Amino acid sequence: MDTKEERVVLYKDEPDEHSGRCECGNNIFHSRVLEGKFYRKCQECGKTKIV
Ligand SMILES: [Zn+2]
């Protein structure tokens, strides 16, 4: 079974190569705050970083 679970990483573990830009090259994100943490999800590839 292939589930499309979003990939979540910690920013400190995988910081942006170019600040404000995802590894896929996109720079448009969905942002949300959950339990005091800032989640930044790439609109292109769905990768989420917890800042
Ligand atoms: Zn991306």
Identity at 11, one-letter amino acid code: Y
- Give yes or no for residue 27 having a pLDDT over 90: yes
| Alpha helix segments (H runs only) across the chain | none
Q: How far is the CA of 42 from the centre of ligand 1 (A)?
A: 5
Q: Distance between CA 39 and CA 19 in Å, rounded?
A: 15
Q: How far is the CA of 36 from the centre of ligand 1 (A)?
A: 23
Strand pairing partners for 29? 42
Q: Distance between CA 15 and CA 28 in Å, rounded?
A: 16
Global pTM reads 0.82
Chain segment 5-21, per-residue pLDDT in tens: 679 999 999 999 999 99
- Strand 48-50 and strand 8-10: the pairing is parallel
Q: How far is the CA of 34 from the centre of ligand 1 (A)?
A: 20
